[in-house]
Chain A
């Protein structure tokens, strides 16, 4: 698997060249949100607003009212927690095309509870007019600028940064409201989002080798949640459905699927792999994924539960699979 560095930094620099009404806003996290190269190239379209997220949200709304494309960058928690009223009343209520780039989802930062966006999807999904997108690989990150530009209204984008994997072909950009099909099958329907897609890929091959067929979809658009590929997977599945997300079990991808199952009226068992209604603490991503049970090992157990069979996949197999993908070059995540 290929890993790329600072994908958003390069992408927004390139994209910004032709999109000359794009104004990038920073809340004192310019390098951390990978907009330093944009700042250096287009200082007249870069707005430093310091540590004032509430002002930054409403200020961005003012820019949007004047036909500019404000692209707000900070850590997610300082958006949906600290400045929620501003996002709602200044941006979402008037349906202004403000693009919110939120960084540090869930376990991806050792910054502890104050920095880990745990329930951002749940909160942002509940806002009228708001679209919600989550990125899981370099191709996703490269696609979101063009996607967000074409949305007539506000959009929240859950960003990953730093060294990120290329899971999907560079020449096959991610599309709005369209899941990416990663494998075919009808035993299990598996819906993964964000960094959990990369994690799930560690074991889906092993599961297939055991004769389990999986309809695996990578979900990027969480709102609107309206995609016939997802409906089809829910309809056709034999044993049950698994969702896997780097988010609290309340209100995220698992909840989206649960709502869809309830609406369909079909009897479907659902296992939600998610952070189980608790805050996290500061530690490495791998440690937290293990500690809060959102890793590949847990996915194997969920499949076993649904097919009611021990699959004899050892931790060794999983870690072997991990090793093959060589994470060794990755630096531990910093702030």
Chain B
């Protein structure tokens, strides 16, 4: 099977799983719609990760990191053991957690039963992911911090002469945080080029359209003027994403702006646009509409 077909199947699986869980409690569904292709190509094709060394069904929460807690930092185990020649992945907008868990299931790094623990008290599969949540290396919930941490990791890996790359997933809203620009400026200044950044440019945030809340345009120009190598592509086009990441970027970080639709692959969401940040159901009637939609999606599965 071609890598594209594989990625399509993974993307479909991500959307279905996230929709299933959203029907139970509401949740971050549009983020899965906008980013499914990005996650699938990262995990299936682009990133060089070792096999997961995390448990297929994770243990319950064992406490936050501390001087006496040896169970800390377990989330990153699902991206493989640390290895100088392999890549590392950082998810910055931690509310994409469910999308990441679904990706890990679709790429056999997590057992599908684990999702029964999603957002349940005492589980590590939290709604907004943290260090102990599968696939996560940082707590990115306070925006703009993971990019600086990833920059630090990239600088250190270069300093140690490691070959592995650093991959970072960002959301467009995070570019309203000053720290994001600080991080870009410092990466360009220190010529950090062993980092590849993908931005889910879904053009929406909690209060509505990004252009109505705090406009980012001219987005590409701004990022480029901060010294990064920038490519803009259709974030649902796997081939375009793939070739964007092949861009040569000497002495600069690579930023791929993936233009996406927050209701891609799920028409039922379109009428709610642009208020898609967190899906809630007013009543059972609305919930049933989504249940029926899920059935339809499943019957058309690849």
Contacts and interface: CB of A to CB of B under 8 A. Distances in A.
Interface in A38-90: 44, 47, 49-50, 52, 54-68, 70, 85-86, 89-90
9 nearest A-B pairs in the assembled complex, by CB-CB distance: A62-B152, A58-B148, A66-B156, A55-B182, A52-B182, A59-B152, A62-B149, A62-B153, A95-B65
Interface string B119-155: 0000000000001000001110110111111111111
A128 B63 CA distance: 13
A90 B182 CA distance: 15
Nearest to A131: B67
Interface string B263-274: 000000000000
Interface string A7-48: 000000000000000010000000000000000000010010
Interface residues of B, number: 37
Contacts of A23: 156, 159
29 contacts: A23-B159, A47-B155, A49-B186, A52-B179, A52-B186, A54-B145, A54-B148, A54-B178, A54-B182, A55-B151, A55-B179, A55-B183, A58-B148, A58-B152, A62-B149, A62-B152, A65-B149, A66-B152, A66-B153, A66-B156, A90-B138, A93-B64, A93-B131, A93-B139, A94-B73, A94-B138, A95-B67, A153-B66, A153-B67
Contacts of A56: 148
A152 interface: yes
Contact of B148 (A64, A70, A90): A90
B95 to A, nearest CB: 15
B185 interface: yes
Contacts of B179: 52, 54-55, 58, 86
A328 to B, nearest CB: 44
A289 B185 CA distance: 41
A129 interface: yes
Contact of A55 (B148, B153, B159): B148
B66 A129 contact: yes
Contacts of A128: 64, 66
A94 B149 CA distance: 12
Given A95-B66, A129-B66, A152-B67, A61 B149 contact: yes
A2 B296 CA distance: 83
A47 B151 CA distance: 12
B196 to A, nearest CB: 16
- Scoring A47, A54, A85, A129 by chain B CB atoms within 10 A of each residue's CB, the highest score goes to A54
A65 B152 contact: yes
Contacts of B249: none
B112 interface: no
Nearest to B180: A55
Nearest to A45: B159
B209 interface: no
B145 A90 contact: yes
B113 interface: no
Interface in A114-173: 128-129, 152-153
Nearest to A60: B152
A59 B155 contact: yes
Contacts of A153: 66-67
A233 B73 CA distance: 41
A63 B182 contact: no
B149 A47 contact: no
Nearest to B141: A89
A209 B250 CA distance: 72
A56 B179 CA distance: 10
Given A55-B148, A86-B179, 19 more contacts: A47-B155, A52-B179, A52-B182, A59-B148, A59-B152, A60-B152, A61-B149, A62-B148, A62-B153, A65-B149, A66-B153, A66-B157, A67-B156, A93-B65, A93-B131, A93-B139, A94-B138, A129-B67, A153-B67
A182 B148 CA distance: 44
Contacts of A44: 159
Contacts of B150: 62
A93 B139 CA distance: 9
Contacts of B178: 54
B148 A47 contact: no
Given A52-B182, A62-B149, A89 B139 contact: yes
A74 to B, nearest CB: 14
B280 to A, nearest CB: 27
Given A52-B186, A89-B139, A63 B67 contact: no
B190 interface: yes
Contacts of A68: 156, 159
B72 interface: yes
- Scoring B69, B148, B151 by chain A CB atoms within 10 A of each residue's CB, the highest score goes to B148
A21 to B, nearest CB: 10
Contact of A89 (B66, B145, B151, B182): B145
B301 interface: no
A63 B64 contact: no
B160 interface: yes
Contacts of B131: 93-94
Nearest to A92: B65
Contacts of A62: 148-156
